[in-house]
């Protein structure tokens, strides 16, 4: 299980700083950052610690079991960013 970022993400990078295992990308200095519509969580590297949730000002990060019905597609979109 992993946490998922949805399309209300504004790419302010606060979650990147909060994540202890560095599983949120792309980072500002990585290729594709400008083009990315939002940030994505690596579903296999995320350790489900929840540290990213309270720092997100747009409430764009959800644990899988709390992901709203109309945001289910983002499970696949987060994984797809990593080619999974």
The site for ligand SF4 (CB under 6 A) is made up of 3, 5, 9-15, 18-19, 21, 23-24, 39, 41, 46-52, 55-56, 58, 60-61
Reduced to 3 states, what is the DSSP secondary structure of residue 61? strand
Beta bridge partners of 4: 62
When the beta carbons of 18 and 75 are compared against ligand SF4, the nearer one is: 18
Residue 33 phi, psi dihedral angles, 5° rounding: -60, -50
Please, which residue, 51 or 75, has the CB nearer to ligand SF4? 51
Shortest separation between residue 7's beta carbon and ligand SF4, angstroms = 10
Tell me the two tokens of residue 79: 């994984």
Task: Rank residues 49 and 72 by Cβ distance to ligand SF4 and give the closer one.
Answer: 49
Residue identified by tokens 């990060």 is 61
The least distance separating ligand SF4 from the CB of residue 69, rounded to whole angstroms, comes to: 20
* CB of residue 73 to ligand SF4, shortest distance in Å: 16
Cα 16 to Cα 22: distance, rounded to the nearest angstrom:
7
How far is Cα of residue 5 from the mean position of the Cα atoms in its chain? 4
């Amino acid at each position: 299980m992993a946490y998922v970022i949805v399309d209300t993400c504004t790419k302010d990078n606060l979650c990147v700083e909060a994540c202890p295992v560095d599983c949120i990308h792309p980072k500002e200095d990585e290729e594709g950052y400008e083009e990315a519509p939002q940030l994505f969580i690596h579903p296999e590297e995320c350790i489900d610690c929840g540290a990213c949730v309270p720092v997100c000002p747009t409430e764009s990060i959800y644990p899988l079991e709390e992901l709203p019905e109309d945001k289910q597609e983002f499970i696949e979109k987060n994984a797809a960013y990593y080619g999974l």
